[in-house]
Amino acid sequence: MYYPRLRDLREDHDLVQKEVAAILGIDQRVYSNYELGKREIPTRFVIALAKHYKTSTDYILGLTDKI
């Protein structure tokens, strides 16, 4: 599945992939694969990013447009 909001949120917060990967404790290449939809992002990372960006998991997953 492709998660376009991962990139949008990262860019809105002026972060590069390497910084987000560090927040999650993973390699930048792995995170890049999540943004590109080459790998499905694990639930624990969706939760961590929702907390970091102060948004909902539903927003990240594209289930709502409400930030």
Q: Over the stretch 8-62, which tens digit does the pLDDT of each residue have?
A: 999 999 999 999 999 999 999 999 999 999 999 999 999 999 999 999 999 999 9
**If you write DSSP's letter for every residue of 6-22 in order, what string do you get?**
HHHHHHHTT--HHHHHH
Identify the burial level of 31 via C-beta atoms within 10 angstroms of its C-beta, where 0-12 means exposed, 13-18 middle and 19 or more buried. Answer: buried
Give the pair of three-digit tokens for residue 49.
């990013």
Q: Contact, 59 vs 66, CB < 8 A?
A: yes
Domains in the chain, please, with CATH?
4-60 (1.10.260.40)
Q: Over the stretch 26-36, which tens digit does the pLDDT of each residue have?
A: 999 999 999 99
Q: Which DSSP symbol is given to 61?
A: T
Single pTM value for the model: 0.91
Q: Using the predicted structure, report yes or no on whether residue 1 has a pLDDT greater than 80.
A: no
Q: According to the model, what pLDDT value does residue 49 have? A: 98
